[in-house]
Structure formats: C-alpha cells, structure tokens
Chains A and B, each alone.
Chain A
Amino acid sequence: MNRRGLTLPEVVVCFGIFSLLSLVALGTLVYGATGFHQVVYQQGSQNDVRRIMAALQRDLASTHHRSITVEKRQSVAGYARDAMALCSLDSWSDPANFDNYLRPRWNCYVVYYASREQNGVNEAGKLVRQVCYPRGTPVGAFEYATFISSPESLIRDGEPLQSDEVRSQILTDRLWKFELVDNPLTQSVSIRLSLRNPPQKRATGIERDLHSIEVLQEIKPANTWPQI
C-alpha cells in the first residue's frame, strides 16, 4: 500500500484533467439543452401552424364569400396584423341549424384577429378566434355590422374579450405576421401566416437568428347560400 500521498504536481494535473472533462461534459449538456429547446419550439410552431390553418380552412370553406370582411391592421413595427369576420354556425351537426331545404340558418359570426402588441424579443402578438352571437340582430350571410362600425368593441390587444356574446380562444401567442387579402374576382381569401420563436442563447452569449415558420394559403368559401 502506497501511503506516500500525492505530490502537488499530481494534484494540479488531476485538477486540470478534471476541469477539462467537466468543461466538455457541461458544453455537451448546454448544447443538448439548447438543441432540445429549439426542437420543442419548432415542433410547437409547426403544430400551431397546422391547427390554425385547419381552423381557417374549416371556417372559410363553410361560409359564404359575401359575409367576409377584412380589416387591414399593423403592429407598431409595421408587421401585418389583420382581422377578418365571417358568418358561421355554432354547430354544423345540429339539425336545428338547418331549414327544410338543408340551408344553413346562420347564427353567429367568427372573427379572426391578430393583436398588435409586441411581446418579447420576437415581437410576438396573439392570434385570436372569436365566436360572436350578436344580440337583437339577426345573423345573415352578410357582413358583420359591429365589426365594420366599431371593431374596437371586439378586437383588443392584450387579453381577448370574454362575455356572453363573445367567446375568444387564443390560437397562438408567437404570431409575427397575419396578412389577409380578399380577392373579389376569384371570391377567395389569401392568407400569409408567420410565427416566430424567441431566440436561443448560446454559451457565448450571442443570440441566434429567430426561428420562424411562414405559410401562404388561399381558401375559397364553398357555401353558396343565400346566393345560389
């Protein structure tokens, strides 16, 4: 048994090797954690895009083009944060929502809007879907009068409106651009949707470019009632 102990150079070398190994292990851990966060954010954005496009596709395809109103808006930094209203049904599976000829009895309006506030480094806003049941005014396949005359009564930055008449649902809180163009000739709506994730910090402190996902879509309302 060696009872001599360790010399100072041995201790120094030992500490040096230990520090080196710790650095490598820590670096790998940081790299892994950054990568993992990035993957989680990217997957989240993809899921958000798929979910939002499915909701827009469903609402737009089932409505009548005459009921669509597009409101052009911008954030402080100049990014498109548009809004849109269209007529719809609260339930497409309820027979009471159709007349004897299976024509829809439009009973609500659906409003999509992008809030104009800019949270965080990614200047993110919210995309909100609202279902509105206007009191005392019949819903037809016409434009939403309240949306045109006083949009601020429905659309607001920050927390969306919740009441008996308006039910709001936040679709994403990392919205970058939401641009809508109504095409009267083709009776369709063009959509540009961009989401942007917050930046990831590297060990060196330099922030990476912001990860974004952008899609373009064109949807044509397929319902013809009451304009057959």
Chain B
Amino acid sequence: MAELVMAIVLLGMIVTVTVMVFTRMLASTSKTTNQTVGLVFAQRRLEQATQIGPPETPGGPGWGISDPSEVLAEGVYTPDDRLQTTFWNRLTVQSLDERSVMPDGGRKMGDLYRLRVEVYWWASDPDNPQPIVRQGLGVQKVELETIYYYQRMKD
C-alpha cells in the first residue's frame, strides 16, 4: 500500500511540474509575441515623429502630437485572430539643447532631441492606461529611444 501511495505522489509531482513548465513556457512565448509587436509599434511611432519633426515655434504642434502627455491606442490581432489586443504608446521628447551649443558661440546648426516611446499592453484601466506588472511575467511594456538631430540654422 505504501508503495502505491508513493507512486501516486511521485506521479502527481511529475504531472504538476510538467504542467507548470508548459504553462510558464506558453505565457513566456505570449509575452515575447507582445514584445515583438510592441517593438514594431515603437519603431513606427519614432519614424512618424521624426518625419514630422519638432514644432516650428516653442509650444506649437510637433512630432505628430498636440499634447505631450497624449497616449495613443491601436488594436491588432495578436495573439488571437478574433480579438484585438490594444497597444498604448506614449512619446516623450526631451530637448538636449545644451549639447548642441557651438563651443565658440557661433550659430547653431540645429537642435538635438531625445525621443522615447513607451508601448504597453493589457493596461489595467482603459481610461487612464498604465503599464502593469504580471506575476511571473514582469512588466508588460517595451521602451525604445533615439537621439534625433534636426538641422535648423539659428542665430
């Protein structure tokens, strides 16, 4: 009888571990799928922002956004072909003006910016979407940034 109990317990442990391993593997693959999609979203957002460029006048519209805190949402069929997953993205622009100053005090040839895009999914509150952390999966977002030089003669 003891052998039987031992065998069942062992089998139970093996089954539990196997199921856990495959469940974790599936969840991990699902996350990398979303990361792949998120990364392409981020590249696209940076591409669009650099196509439009900075505002002509300080405070004016530029980079394709009217409000710097604006969060854009787009749905794509990932990973389910019947249900869209919403990906939110936020662009933040930091001027690196102090680094583009000419050392001899001459005319500036342009402006230097740091553009950062944050893309996240499965956000908790659709009205105020914020990146979430899932147990065992970590934070559900990707970030991409680039340094962008906009050529513009200045006095």
Residues of A within 8 A of B29 (CB): 38-39, 42-43
- Count, chain B residues at interface, CB 8 A: 34
Residues of B within 8 A of A42 (CB): 29-30, 33, 79
Contact call A32/B22, Cβ cutoff below 8 A: yes
B137, CB-defined interface residue at 8 Å: no
Residues of A within 8 A of B76 (CB): 194, 214-216
Contact call B11/A46, Cβ cutoff below 8 A: no
Residues of B within 8 A of A50 (CB): 36
Contact call A220/B19, Cβ cutoff below 8 A: no
Residues of B within 8 A of A220 (CB): 47, 51
- Contact for A38 among B26, B80, B81, CB less than 8 A: B26
B37, CB-defined interface residue at 8 Å: yes
Within 8 A of A (CB), among B51-73: 51
Report the bound CA distance from A61 to B47 in whole Å.
Answer: 11
Contact call B78/A213, Cβ cutoff below 8 A: yes
Contact with A along B1-19 (1 / 0, CB 8 A): 0001001100100110011
Report the bound CA distance from A17 to B25 in whole Å.
Answer: 31
Contact call B15/A24, Cβ cutoff below 8 A: yes
A residues bordering B, Cβ < 8 Å? 17, 21, 24-25, 28, 31-32, 35-36, 38-39, 42-43, 45-46, 49-50, 53, 176, 186, 188, 194, 196, 209-220
B residues bordering A, Cβ < 8 Å? 4, 7-8, 11, 14-15, 18-19, 22-23, 25-26, 29-30, 32-33, 36-37, 40-41, 43-44, 47-48, 51, 74, 76-83
Can you spell out 8 A-B residue pairs with CB atoms less than 8 angstroms apart? Answer: A28-B18, A31-B19, A38-B29, A49-B36, A214-B77, A216-B44, A217-B47, A220-B47
